[in-house]
Amino acid sequence: MLTKNKIKIIRSLANKKERYAQQLFIIEGEKIVQEAIEMEVPISEIVSLADQKEKIQFPHLSIASKQDMERCSALKQSPGVLALVPFLTWKDPDLSSGKYIVLDGIKDPGNLGTIIRIADWFEIDGIFCSNDSVDVYNQKVVQASMGSIFRIPVWYRDLPAFLSTCKLTKMAADMEGEDFASYDFPKNGLIVMGSESHGISDRVKSLTNASITIQRKGKAESLNVSVAAGIICERFSKA
């Protein structure tokens, strides 16, 4: 059975500071938990309703009541199973080649999760986030990533320092660049995208080599950053 203390720990992981203190995050739902098991992600523990435990083959399985499960869940309605997962570890990237996304100050967890999923669809090698971006282990990021969080490395960096030393082509996606549709994407490089409200910061922008834009035909003021990432990565993935 799930102890009171364990419930307390699980609930505390909704808080970034606690996640980092314990180096643990939560995944919720049968699909992502099964995917983690199949991918042999090192899971600390799985918590499940009694009637769902048959579906999960895992040695460390605690059974929880419906009420306790709801108390543990960050979702409106608990899907009935969750897992505690140690922080993922990624090798430092070899930046002599590869395709990467760089995110400058992304705050919306749904956007980061969706961009991780885009990276996984288009075989982007990883994502660099500025240190002030939303935490990749935020439960909304994890849910929106739909399991892609286990395949796509996300690193946090001081972006100006990182970009200063990185030799790959740095392409800023902004409102005044060259039309991305006719842009000759390099095989290797970094697509730099700005935050939802402020775009790319001046300091980061000054460290890029090229500027690309998705041409607007209508009247919307901007595109959602994850939609823009999807449109650009579709082309970039073919370079």
Closest CA to 24 of 46, 43, 47: 43
Tell me the window of 53-61, 81-89, 139-147, 183-191 that interacts with a second copy (CB under 8 A): 139-147
Q: Which of 217, 216, 214 is nearest to 228 (CA)?
A: 214
**Using the 8-state DSSP alphabet, how is residue 199 labeled?**
B
Distance CA 23, CA 7 (A): 17
Interface residue with a second copy among 4, 17, 91, 217 (CB under 8 A) is 217
Position among 9, 88, 146, 168 found at the interface with a second copy (CB under 8 A): 146
Our finding on whether 33 is near a second copy (CB under 8 A) is no
- Give yes or no for residue 142 binding a second copy (CB under 8 A): no
223 forms part of the interface with a second copy (CB under 8 A): yes
- Binding to a second copy (CB under 8 A): which residues in 92-121? 110, 114, 117-121
Is 224 an interacting residue with respect to a second copy (CB under 8 A)? yes
Question: Alpha-carbon distance 187 to 198, whole Å?
Answer: 29
Three-state DSSP state, 188: coil
Judged by CB under 8 A, the residue of 100, 122, 128, 162 near a second copy is 122
String of contacts with a second copy for each residue 176-215, x by CB under 8 A: -----x--------------------------------x-
Count other C-beta atoms under 10 Å from residue 84's C-beta.
Answer: 20
Q: What are phi and psi of 154, to 5 degrees?
A: -125, 120
The radius of gyration of the chain's CA atoms, rounded to the nearest angstrom, is 20
- Chain residues in the site for a second copy (CB under 8 A): 110, 114, 117-124, 144, 146-148, 151, 181, 214, 216-224, 226-231, 234, 237-238
